[in-house]
């Protein structure tokens, strides 16, 4: 038996064909990688039209046709030499890279694991050149009649590397990768016409000269509503088209992120994309759309991964924060999410301060309140204290049917802050809908029905109340002003080991939130007080539910303070079946309008939806 330690291993260069096959294992991971490399070359060639044809998920055929600058006859064979490229000339070019390709590996790598045919013609030549490789070996090269541009056919991919072919996924899975890659390439350059045909089926055909918003809507679905986004912050210039919160998905497949035009995968930027929506997205949901991020090329390292789908950013934290801020500010724009608003302004002779003439005013008509004279500020404060009543004492809600009113008080409310600006008496609702919002009823003791001009708003009283409570609770925790209600008889609760560990970790935050809890021995804790919002609830049940809520919310990325406020708000809010009086309903809406985020509860569910007159007319065939 030979002693392996005595065997001499000679060092020698690998054959070129072996080198190319090894490189192909890095560059050509799957058929989608072939499409990416070849289409990016077509884009670098200045193409205005690119057609992609796929058969059998790329294993049988990948065909790319472009109308770019082409490759001259004397250069075409050099293009298949390893590390031959027209994109860069020295290492310093990598710090200011504006092309997709730069390594010169794609063509030789793909040609080494397939039957590769290229026909290319630059504008200055009368005919094109056809070149064919099989398994990396040149088979033929000859002139041929062709249009200006380049046509590439890749057949029998991985025919000579059976191990790689064996590890391809199911045909349907590879088809999804191909579709996503083609979608990303099409979105990256909306000015270029793109088409994709898979197994004879046209997946998309996109004209050249589109705007980014048009291209995103065409690719991701015209029925979805998208918002154009544009802004600069820190090191980032951001443009894009992002979906409204109702277009969210259960996965990130609808997200396309580009840095300096290059489609990339970035957990950091994807996180910034989601947190920009804040609480408009429920846990486990993700926004859709395309973000095009521009940074200084010298601050991006694209030479990190052979597939070039990962980049390294020198100021990654700042890029994250900039993307987050731009998205957040865009979503705050009027009209992004329905809100109660009116263009009505108070006439100059009205009994209000002249500085408020240009404010957006809404009118709330409060049924059941009567007066023969304008209400003084003290009376108004008492009236609108009903909103605090709803906030602080949900058990005080009137569960009986409210009397029908025979008169109303018209209250003008700032639609942004909810501040009461003017009040007057009316015997009817003639002027209300045209200049503000009117409480017109309720449905199923859960939804409040509001009319604002020709629009109907349906308010979920639970999510609206939850939003109000959540923001007030956060503020009180920050100010350390949460009121604790002592229990007449303390309650003991036994925790399981995991709950006990969580309790030990968050005991300080529990105290700041109004819980008075102490250890009782073993795994038992003694509850002596609870937040006043929960004073009418079962203390032991509420305490256990809040512990469970916090454990779940922390897994979803919430910090303890927000998780605590969210759980208490959810457990304290009015529920379905709790009937609000008219004054309480209007007070709740006034409080909602004062919130920083009036559009959703902390879980991401909407606080209200809007139906326009046109929407309703269409349902009745009047459109």
Q: pLDDT, tens digit, for every residue of 8-45?
A: 666 666 566 655 555 544 557 889 989 998 999 899 88
Task: Note every long-range contact of 74-82, with CB atoms under 8 Å and residues 24 or more positions apart, other chains counting.
Answer: 76/118, 76/120, 76/129, 76/131, 76/141, 77/131, 77/138, 77/141, 79/107, 80/107, 80/108, 80/111, 80/131, 80/133, 80/138, 81/108, 82/16, 82/19, 82/20, 82/23, 82/108
User: What pLDDT score does 396 carry?
Assistant: 35
Query: What percent of the chain is predicted at pLDDT more than 70?
Result: 72
Q: Is residue 494 part of a domain?
A: no
Q: Do 176 and 288 have their domain in common?
A: no
d(Cα 264, Cα 291) in Å, to the nearest integer?
Answer: 11
Residue range(s) defining the domain that contains residue 86: 16-203
Instruction: Put residue 58 in one of left, alpha, beta given phi > 0 → left and psi -120 to 50 → alpha.
Output: left
Check residues 253 and 375 and name the one with the higher pLDDT.
253
Nearest to 274 by CA among 314, 317, 245: 245
Q: Is residue 545 part of a domain?
A: no
CB 281 within 8 A of CB 605: no
Domain's final residue, options 178, 203, 228:
203
Q: What angle do CA 25, 31, 35 make, to 5 degrees?
A: 110
Q: Do 173 and 321 have their domain in common?
A: no
Lowest mean pLDDT among 96-100, 242-246, 247-251, 583-587: 96-100
Q: Do 146 and 255 have their domain in common?
A: no
Does this model's pTM top 0.75? Answer: no
Q: Is residue 171 part of a domain?
A: yes
Q: Is residue 577 part of a domain?
A: no
Check residues 622 and 197 and name the one with the higher pLDDT.
197
Q: What is the mean pLDDT of residues 381-406?
A: 38
pLDDT at 523 over 60: yes
Q: Is residue 251 part of a domain?
A: yes
For residue 204, give the H/E element and its range.
strand 201-206
Give 104's contacts (C-beta < 8 A, 6+ positions apart): 81, 82, 83, 84, 85, 87
Look at the chain and report how many structural domains it folds into. Answer: 2
Check residues 518 and 497 and name the one with the higher pLDDT.
518
User: What pLDDT score does 106 carry?
Assistant: 79
Task: Dump the DSSP string for 486-553.
Answer: EEEEEEEEEPPHHHHHHHHHHHHHHHHTT-EEEEEETTEEEEEEEEGGGTTS-HHHHHHHHHHHHHHH
Q: Do 231 and 253 have their domain in common?
A: yes
Per-residue pLDDT band for 305 (boundaries 50, 70, 90) equals: low
User: What pLDDT score does 117 carry?
Assistant: 96
User: What pLDDT score does 576 carry?
Assistant: 84
Q: Do 160 and 219 have their domain in common?
A: no
Lowest mean pLDDT among 107-121, 379-393, 498-512, 520-534: 379-393
pLDDT tens-digit readout, 481-497? 888 888 988 999 888 77
Domain's final residue, options 203, 228, 259:
203
pLDDT tens-digit readout, 49-76? 999 999 998 989 999 999 999 999 988 8
User: What pLDDT score does 2 carry?
Assistant: 53
Task: Dump the DSSP string for 214-240.
Answer: HHHHHHH-TTS-EEEEEEEETTEEEEE
Domain's final residue, options 146, 177, 203:
203
Lowest mean pLDDT among 424-428, 433-437, 583-587: 424-428
Nearest to 307 by CA among 177, 408, 216, 215: 177
Q: Do 122 and 139 have their domain in common?
A: yes
Q: Do 112 and 196 have their domain in common?
A: yes
Q: Do 191 and 241 have their domain in common?
A: no
Q: Do 181 and 255 have their domain in common?
A: no
State the distance between the two ends of the chain, measured CA to CA, in whole angstroms.
91
Q: Is residue 508 part of a domain?
A: no
**Any idea which residue has 């898979």 for tokens?**
198
d(Cα 178, Cα 199) in Å, to the nearest integer?
Answer: 12
User: What pLDDT score does 268 carry?
Assistant: 86
Nearest to 474 by CA among 555, 549, 531, 556: 531
Check residues 582 and 124 and name the one with the higher pLDDT.
124
d(Cα 294, Cα 314) in Å, to the nearest integer?
Answer: 13
Lowest mean pLDDT among 27-41, 71-85, 258-272, 565-579: 71-85
pLDDT at 87 over 80: no
User: What pLDDT score does 379 carry?
Assistant: 36
CB 102 within 8 A of CB 94: yes
Q: Do 176 and 34 have their domain in common?
A: yes
* CATH code of the domain in which 23 resides: 3.30.565.10
User: What pLDDT score does 554 carry?
Assistant: 67
CB 277 within 8 A of CB 243: no
* CATH code of the domain in which 271 resides: 3.30.230.10
pLDDT at 166 over 80: no
CB 100 within 8 A of CB 36: no
Q: Do 157 and 228 have their domain in common?
A: no
d(Cα 549, Cα 558) in Å, to the nearest integer?
Answer: 11
CB 324 within 8 A of CB 229: no
Distances 483 to 331, 381, 389, 543, 571 between C-alpha atoms, Å: 34, 22, 15, 16, 16
CA dihedral sign, ordered 143, 147, 148, 153: negative
d(Cα 479, Cα 475) in Å, to the nearest integer?
Answer: 6
Give 585's contacts (C-beta < 8 A, 6+ positions apart): 439, 442, 448, 461
pLDDT at 584 over 90: no
Lowest mean pLDDT among 294-303, 479-488, 520-529: 294-303
Q: What is the mean pLDDT of residues 359-370?
A: 37
Q: What is the mean pLDDT of residues 90-113?
A: 64
Distances 19 to 105, 244, 307, 414 between C-alpha atoms, Å: 11, 49, 17, 71
Quote the mean pLDDT of the chain: 76
pLDDT tens-digit readout, 185-225? 999 999 999 999 999 988 899 999 999 999 999 998 767 88
Instruction: Look at residue 290 and give its three-state secondary structure.
Output: strand
Q: Do 30 and 57 have their domain in common?
A: yes
Q: Is residue 47 part of a domain?
A: yes
Give 188's contacts (C-beta < 8 A, 6+ positions apart): 43, 256, 258, 261, 262, 263, 292
Per-residue pLDDT band for 95 (boundaries 50, 70, 90) equals: low
Instruction: Put residue 150 in one of left, alpha, beta given phi > 0 → left and psi -120 to 50 → alpha.
Output: beta
Q: Is residue 38 part of a domain?
A: yes
């Amino acid at each position: 038996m030979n002693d392996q330690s005595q065997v001499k291993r000679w060092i020698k260069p690998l054959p070129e064909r072996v080198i190319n096959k090894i490189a192909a294992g890095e560059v050509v991971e799957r058929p989608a990688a072939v499409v990416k490399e070849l289409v990016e070359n077509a884009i670098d060639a200045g193409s205005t039209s690119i057609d992609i044809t796929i058969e059998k998920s790329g294993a049988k055929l990948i065909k790319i046709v472009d109308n770019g600058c082409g490759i001259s006859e004397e250069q075409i064979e050099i293009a298949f030499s390893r590390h031959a490229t027209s994109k860069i000339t020295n290492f310093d070019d990598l710090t200011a890279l504006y092309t997709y390709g730069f390594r010169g590996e794609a063509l030789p790598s793909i040609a080494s694991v397939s039957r590769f045919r290229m026909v290319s013609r630059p504008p200055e030549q009368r005919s094109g050149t056809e070149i064919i490789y099989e398994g990396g070996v040149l088979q033929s090269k000859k002139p041929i009649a062709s249009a200006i541009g380049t046509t590439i056919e890749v057949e029998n991919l991985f025919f000579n590397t059976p191990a790689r072919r064996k590890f391809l996924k199911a045909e349907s899975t590879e088809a999804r990768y191909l579709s996503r890659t083609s979608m990303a390439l099409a979105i990256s350059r909306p000015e270029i016409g793109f088409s994709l045909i898979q197994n004879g089926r046209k997946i998309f055909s996109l004209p050249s000269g589109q705007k980014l918003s048009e291209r995103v809507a065409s690719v991701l679905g015209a029925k979805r509503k998208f918002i154009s986004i544009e802004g600069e912050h820190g090191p980032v210039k951001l443009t894009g088209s992002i979906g409204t919160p109702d277009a969210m998905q259960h996965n990130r497949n609808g997200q396309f992120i580009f840095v300096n035009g290059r489609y990339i995968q970035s957990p950091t930027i994807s996180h910034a994309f989601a947190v920009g929506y804040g609480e408009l997205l429920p846990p486990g949901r993700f926004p859709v759309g395309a973000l095009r991020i521009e940074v200084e090329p010298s601050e991006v390292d694209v030479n990190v991964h052979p597939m070039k789908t990962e980049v390294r950013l020198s100021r990654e934290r700042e890029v994250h924060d900039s993307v987050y801020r731009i998205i957040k500010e865009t979503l705050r724009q009027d009209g992004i999410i329905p809100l109660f608003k009116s263009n009505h302004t108070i006439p100059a002779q009205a009994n209000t301060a002249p500085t408020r003439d240009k404010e957006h005013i809404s009118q709330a008509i409060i049924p059941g309140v009567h007066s023969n004279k304008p209400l003084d500020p003290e009376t108004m404060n008492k009236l609108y204290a009903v909103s605090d009543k709803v906030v602080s004492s949900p058990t005080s809600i009137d569960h009986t049917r409210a009397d029908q009113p025979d008169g109303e008080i018209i209250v003008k409310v700032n639609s942004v802050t909810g501040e009461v600006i003017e009040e007057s008496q009316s015997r009817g609702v003639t002027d209300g809908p045209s200049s503000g919002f009117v409480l017109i009823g309720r449905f199923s003791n859960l939804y409040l029905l509001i009319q604002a001009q020709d629009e109907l708003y349906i308010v979920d009283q639970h999510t609206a109340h939850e939003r109000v409570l959540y923001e007030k609770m956060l503020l009180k925790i920050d100010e350390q002003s949460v009121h604790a209600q002592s229990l007449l008889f303390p309650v003991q609760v036994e925790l399981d080991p995991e709950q006990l560990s969580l309790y030990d970790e968050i005991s300080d935050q529990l105290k700041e939130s109004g819980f008075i809890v102490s250890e009782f021995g073993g795994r038992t804790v003694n509850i002596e007080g609870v937040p006043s919002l929960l004073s009418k609830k079962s203390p032991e049940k509420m305490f256990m539910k809040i512990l469970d809520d916090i454990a779940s919310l922390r897994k979803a990325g919430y910090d303890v303070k927000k998780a605590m406020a969210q759980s208490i708000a959810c457990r304290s809010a009015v529920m379905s079946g709790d009937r609000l009086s008219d004054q309480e309903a209007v007070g709740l809406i006034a409080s909602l309008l004062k919130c920083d985020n009036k559009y959703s509860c902390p879980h991401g569910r909407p606080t209200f939806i809007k139906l326009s007159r046109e929407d309703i007319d269409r349902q009745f065939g009047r459109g």
